[in-house]
Amino acid sequence: PDQDTVTMAVEATKNALKRAQIDPSQIGAVYVGSESHPYAVKPSGTILAEAIGATPVAHTADYEFACKAGTEGMFVAQSLVKAGEVEYALAVGADTSQGAPGDALEYSAAAGAASFIFGRKDLLAEILYTHTFMTDTPDFWRREHQYYPRHGGRFTGEPAYFKHIVSAGQGILEKSGLKPADFKYAVFHQPNGKFPLKAGRLLGFSRDQLTTGLLVNKLGNTYSGSSPLGLTAILDEAQPGDLIFMVSFGSGAGSDAFIFKVTSRIDEVRDLAPKTRYLLEKRKFYLDYGTYAKYRRKIIKAE
């Protein structure tokens, strides 16, 4: 119960390295996207890089953009690799989600991390297209020195989540010339069980295309890890040639869209690390609310 963004990022990255089968010293960039970094001034990325053996020659930064901080890192990592600046780049989306006691957020707040290593060879999946859409939308925020975030309730839906996810999704479909029917899987940011299903329907995807990556009903909302973790569950089952559609969302607000094509290498390395749904189903550890509140520091004790 005492996990934080860094400890989960380390565990997720160890699994990513098992599948990538590379020396960590070859990683030239390390990015951690989160809205719950353990330190306000001390990068999560340096701790992660040291823990996996990627120091000292690696560009490192922490990203923040509410729940799409993870895909921000993914976009920058793949861009650096594509530009030839680094041989490999690592991007992690991780969070210990925050919600005030009694707030609607607390019901679905969860903790998790997804880690991806980007390179130019031996790919498990190729990024074919990316697209982004953002506006200044104050749907969710937390000011300096505030312990819990605040949000606009239903305002977080139509003008925030749906506007940005649908706009980013439509944009990447137009850019690629592909149709929803061309994809085997689709995954969206999952703040609850209802929103991603509606977003998929608005874009023309079927429930069957969404089911594999839909983890929120078992896992909850992992904020920056949400859509990236859904992608890991899809990659656990995807076959060579399958197309995957992913759109994240971060309050404030914006969405990053990606189109992936799975390669034949997926079958060679898929079983080298535990699969996502295995971790959810077989490694359950139940906590009572008191223990949860203690470790999330919702009980503020005297110094």
CA–CA separation, 291 vs 303, rounded Å? 19
Using the CB atoms, write b or e for 36-54: b if 16+ within 10 Å: bbeeeeebbbbbbbebbeb
- 64 catalytic? Reply is no
Q: Which amino acid is at 158?
A: E
CA–CA separation, 261 vs 241, rounded Å? 6
- Catalytic residue, from 37, 131, 151, 189: name it: 189
87, 55 Cβ separation under 8 angstroms:
no
CA–CA separation, 121 vs 145, rounded Å? 44
Please name the residue that has the structure tokens 């550890």: 285
CA–CA separation, 13 vs 115, rounded Å? 5
- Catalytic residue, from 37, 50, 67, 145: name it: 67
At 243 the three-state DSSP class reads strand
Q: What is the DSSP letter of 299?
A: S
CA–CA separation, 95 vs 36, rounded Å? 6
- 189 catalytic? Reply is yes
Q: What is the dihedral of CA 207, 213, 98, 289, to 10 degrees?
A: 90
- 281 catalytic? Reply is no
Strand partners, 228: none
On the question of a cis peptide bond just before residue 61, with omega within 30 degrees of 0, the verdict is no
Q: Which two tokens stand for residue 116?
A: 């991806």
Q: What is the DSSP letter of 141?
A: E
Please name the residue that has the structure tokens 């992992």: 222
Q: Give the count of beta carbons closer than 10 Å to the beta carbon of residue 195.
A: 20
Catalytic positions are: 35, 67, 189
